[in-house]
Structure 1
Amino acid sequence: MFEHIDFNNLLATYGYLAVFIGCLLEGETILILGGVAAHQQALHLPLVIFWASLGGMLGDQALFWIGRYFGARLLPRLHRQQAAIERVTGLIHRHPLTSIFSVRFLYGMRLVGPMVIGASRLSPLRFSLMNLLGALVWAALFASAGYWAGQFLESLLGDLKPYRLPIAVGVVIVVGGIALARHLRAKAKEQHKA
């Protein structure tokens, strides 16, 4: 079934768009895959980093403004996210600029973090500048990790072109497994506290 799909053409045609949209919404998985594709020369690493940074930054900007205008009504309704909201709120009070930069690197904070920061009334200009810096560093780290993972896999398997689909599925499974394990551990901590 999949042997007739030209993944090179798909990557060349939609790769940057997929990186942009993936990073606009979530990011790490598609960014690692973008780095692997860059290693295979289906995409260019600087462009993967650019589109990932842009998507990640715009996504967080949108969440910031949602928090700015609707945070007072929206955040109290996010019962499952209360631990994350309290964690980000504490971080904002102690280290406002660091919180903006680091929120995308903290598990479970990527979506709620920018909303909490927006609701906290931090300066939009300060948020935008630190958000841009954080997005650039985040994109460079994860895309480079994917690039070096591609190099490692190539040293093990040789030419990766026949393995692109299994590699993509494998990355999704590993990242999903890590996310699930973290989610279950956080849930267990919440239940232990209650």
Structure 2
Amino acid sequence: MAEFWADWGMVAYLAAAAWAFFEGETFVLLAAAAGRATGAIDPWLLMLSVWVGSFLGDQLWFTLGRKYGSKAVQKIPGAERKLASAIGFLERYGVLFVLTFRFVYGVRNVASAACGIAKMPWSRFAALNFIAAGLWAGSFVAAGWYIVGWLGEKGTLYALGSIGVAVVLYLGYRVVQYWRRPPPPAATQAPEEG
């Protein structure tokens, strides 16, 4: 991570923003930890870049939800269930939901779209989203930055290695699951009348 920043300089911050546009908790934690360990990454610039990226990503999903409704998220596996759940939480918790949904892994994009589908006013969502993106960016940069201080450099390397192994195992599990799933049923056609 530090080598990436050393090689790419300011472009690396743009890459961090792009990563946060889609998701990026792990990336932000690792970048902040690498910054603390090496001094190669400015935590303030990192926070600003992922704040902007996260904000813009959620604004896009909000806009897609508003314009296309539930069709905007149908291609995401399990999205319909997540969408129904997100709309229920939005109706129940309102502002609190918008400020906290990005801290729940795997629902961020669906939750932003849910706010658009629920016809939340654009200006209200944009203001809440901006605040929430800042809270998210600050929290994860600070967490990554202070993990190194808490665990020490050697402990951080072990922790990062463990995370890497866990990610590889999870991806392997998902690939095996994909290969093992039964093929979709073949569509049957009615015999043609002649």
Scaled to the shorter chain, the TM-score interval is 0.7 to 0.9
Unmatched 5+ residue regions in structure 1?
182-194
Once the two structures are superposed, the pairs formed by residues 152-163 of structure 1 within 5 Å of their partners are: 152-156=150-154
Counterpart pick for 2:89 among 88, 91, 105 = 91
> What percent identity do the matched residue pairs reach?
24
Report if the CA contact (8 A) 2:65-2:112 is conserved: yes
> Which residue of structure 1 lines up, in the alignment, with residue 190 of structure 2?
none
1:57 alignment partner AA: F
CA distance in 1, matches of 2:161, 2:153: 19
CA distance in 2, matches of 1:47, 1:13: 9
Deviation at 1:116, TM superposition (A): 1.0
Please report the TM-score for the alignment, with normalisation by the length of structure 1: 0.74
Taking only aligned residues, the RMSD between alpha carbons, in angstroms, comes to 3.1
Report if the CA contact (8 A) 1:11-1:43 is conserved: no
Deviation at 1:29, TM superposition (A): 1.4
Deviation at 1:77, TM superposition (A): 6.5
Tell me: CA distance 1:33–1:6, structure 2 relative to 1, closer, same or farther (3 Å).
closer
Q: Which deviates further from its counterpart, 39-48 or 58-67?
A: 39-48
**Matched positions, count:** 171
Counterpart pick for 2:53 among 52, 55, 59 = 55
CA distance in 1, matches of 2:172, 2:111: 19
Unmatched 5+ residue regions in structure 2?
174-194
CA distance in 1, matches of 2:57, 2:143: 22
Report if the CA contact (8 A) 1:29-1:171 is conserved: no
Deviation at 1:38, TM superposition (A): 2.2
After superposition, what is the alpha-carbon deviation per residue over 1:104-139, rounded to whole angstroms, capped at 9, x for unaligned? 111221121101111110011110111011111111
SS at match of 2:16: helix
Q: Which deviates further from its counterpart, 44-53 or 100-109?
A: 100-109
2:88 alignment partner AA: G
Once the two structures are superposed, the pairs formed by residues 27-46 of structure 1 within 5 Å of their partners are: 27-39=24-36, 40-46=38-44
> Which residue of structure 1 lines up, in the alignment, with residue 103 of structure 2?
105
Highest CA radius of gyration, 1 or 2?
2
Tell me: CA distance 1:75–1:167, structure 2 relative to 1, closer, same or farther (3 Å).
closer
Residue 19 (structure 1) aligned with residue 35 (structure 2): no
Report if the CA contact (8 A) 1:92-1:117 is conserved: yes
Deviation at 1:87, TM superposition (A): 1.3
Q: Which has the higher helix share?
A: 1
Tell me: CA distance 1:81–1:180, structure 2 relative to 1, closer, same or farther (3 Å).
farther
Counterpart pick for 2:6 among 5, 9, 16 = 9
Report if the CA contact (8 A) 2:4-2:12 is conserved: no
CA distance in 2, matches of 1:43, 1:98: 32
Please report the TM-score for the alignment, with normalisation by the length of structure 2: 0.74
Tell me: CA distance 1:37–1:18, structure 2 relative to 1, closer, same or farther (3 Å).
farther
CA distance in 2, matches of 1:133, 1:20: 16
